[in-house]
Structure 1
């Protein structure tokens, strides 16, 4: 892991606005290149050309395209922060609406570019930064969801901690699968089925 992780570490951490803008240009260009050409053909030369910088400048920031893809996935996860939890209605009878907000937020965060999402899921190497980001993001989302469930008067689960973990895993897993490899089932149908399933679980609609 240490030697592999060094291969994925960015070579330069931007400390000035201009450097940060250049890094963002590289990541934006890489997202377009990977989506258009696929990962195998998405070379650093193509990324540099799309970003309109020299290949030497690109290598000042990233040692290879694996490191760029890992950074893209970190960026994707960080941008998926749930910011609407405090605006959800927690009045009695609104549980399904609250669950729908959770599911729709997950779908929205993964709907920009399904092809690129599939590449990131299938190809992105596991850098330490990526592992740390996944762990931090998961912990934050579970905490938010647990707090939401704990404050809603209609929730009837036995264990809030376990419920939050299970719901988050179920929603994220199915959303990733749906958006990265869309089938004949409409997104709206999957959304409604997920909402129904989670709502029934939270209401305690299960045999004794």
Structure 2
């Protein structure tokens, strides 16, 4: 795993309500500024002006705009979730519906402004918190997929652990790409094709049929 950049760690974690509200204003303002102006032109001065705080106040919480973007990506990841296997139908013939639920979860998790999503994916530096967040959510999602693979009667794969890792990576990475540029492939078409591909793989269908 790549090492974290210590220069982008947040400087101050609010302990009082007022300070937390200020931090929230900065993050909300940054999301708007990055989406409207792009990352290069989304300066800390613009963010502070949009948030209604002084530049000095902004620097009390974040050392630079890289740290702000890293925090936005952490929050983006933390908000996302995949449906737990115990809430899915595990009866024979239900595998496609279960896969579709997870694909729709991934699409819903990436519902931000496409421009902001693209900036977060392409520009966000690696903070320690971001690396930990990615690892934590990755383990949760892989664990949920593996649980379903182990219990669903229609699943026929050679190795459960590898299959679970492949599914999470395939769904997440492709959803990132499509949702960051929704003009490329219609979301409905993307969903149907990805669900079909993953379902065929899990059922062990012969690719020649």
Write the mapping of 1:148-187 to structure 2, written as runs, cut at 5 A: 148-187=148-187
Query: What does residue 123 of structure 1 align with?
Result: 123
Give the number of equivalent residue pairs.
Answer: 207
1:16 CA drift (Å): 2.2
The whole-number CA distance in structure 2 between the counterparts of 1:157 and 1:127 is: 36
The whole-number CA distance in structure 1 between the counterparts of 2:24 and 2:149 is: 37
Query: What does residue 87 of structure 1 align with?
Result: 87
Write the mapping of 1:4-153 to structure 2, written as runs, cut at 5 A: 5-153=5-153
Gaps of 5+ in 2: none
1:51 CA drift (Å): 1.2
1:207 CA drift (Å): 6.4
Contact 2:26 2:48 in 1 (8 A): yes
Structure 2 length normalisation: TM-score?
0.93
- Deviations 1:153-172 (CA, angstroms, capped at 9, x unpaired): 21111211111100111111
- Deviations 1:27-46 (CA, angstroms, capped at 9, x unpaired): 11100100001011111111
- Deviations 1:1-33 (CA, angstroms, capped at 9, x unpaired): 98x723101110112222222211111110010
* Structure 2 counterpart SS, 1:41: coil
Contact 2:81 2:105 in 1 (8 A): no
1:84 CA drift (Å): 4.9
Gaps of 5+ in 1: none
Deviating 4+ runs (over 4 angstroms): none
Over aligned residue pairs, what C-alpha RMSD do you find? 1.8
Q: Which has the higher helix share?
A: 1
Contact 2:83 2:102 in 1 (8 A): no
Structure 1 length normalisation: TM-score?
0.93
- Deviations 1:153-201 (CA, angstroms, capped at 9, x unpaired): 2111121111110011111111011111234421100110000000011
Change over 3 Å in CA distance of 1:83–1:154 after alignment to 2 = closer
The whole-number CA distance in structure 1 between the counterparts of 2:207 and 2:195 is: 20
